[in-house]
Amino acid sequence: MLAAIALVEQFIGNSDFDAYAADAKTRSAVERQLQIITEAACRLEPEDKALCLEPDWPKYRGMGNILRHGYHRMDDEIVWNTVKDDSQN
């Protein structure tokens, strides 16, 4: 998870939403790393989740399902807000 988070931060850099939305390669790279993060969240054991209570683990798993199976419904702004909001914490 940590490696994927670091890559997302690297891909986003100092971009704003408009730059992110206009760059298909960056969007694809960020979405791929989010898939990795959400898949890892699905594999967490209960004791792992207890070590880090803050994330909404079910929400992460749900986002992963959309990235994997409902990608045509993915909203760039939702991805952006997820990345930016979570990087602020």
Residue 83 lies in a domain: yes
13: left (phi over 0), alpha (psi -120 to 50) or beta: left
Note down the domain range covering 37: 2-10+20-88
Residue 72 lies in a domain: yes
Residue 15 lies in a domain: no
pTM: 0.80
Residue 24 lies in a domain: yes
What is the tens place of the pLDDT at every residue in 38-78? 888 877 776 665 566 566 777 777 788 788 887 677 789 98
pLDDT at 89 over 60: no
Buried b (16+ CB within 10 A) or exposed e, 17-31: eeebeeeeebbebbb
pLDDT value, residue 67: 85
Q: Phi, psi (5° rounding) for residue 20?
A: -60, -50
Residue 31 lies in a domain: yes
As a whole number of angstroms, the distance between CA 51 and CA 38 comes to 17
Instruction: Indicate the range of 10-14, 27-31, 37-41, 69-73 predicted with least confidence.
Output: 69-73
Residue 28 lies in a domain: yes
List the one residue out of 18, 24, 30, 29 whose CA is nearest residue 86.
30
pLDDT value, residue 51: 62
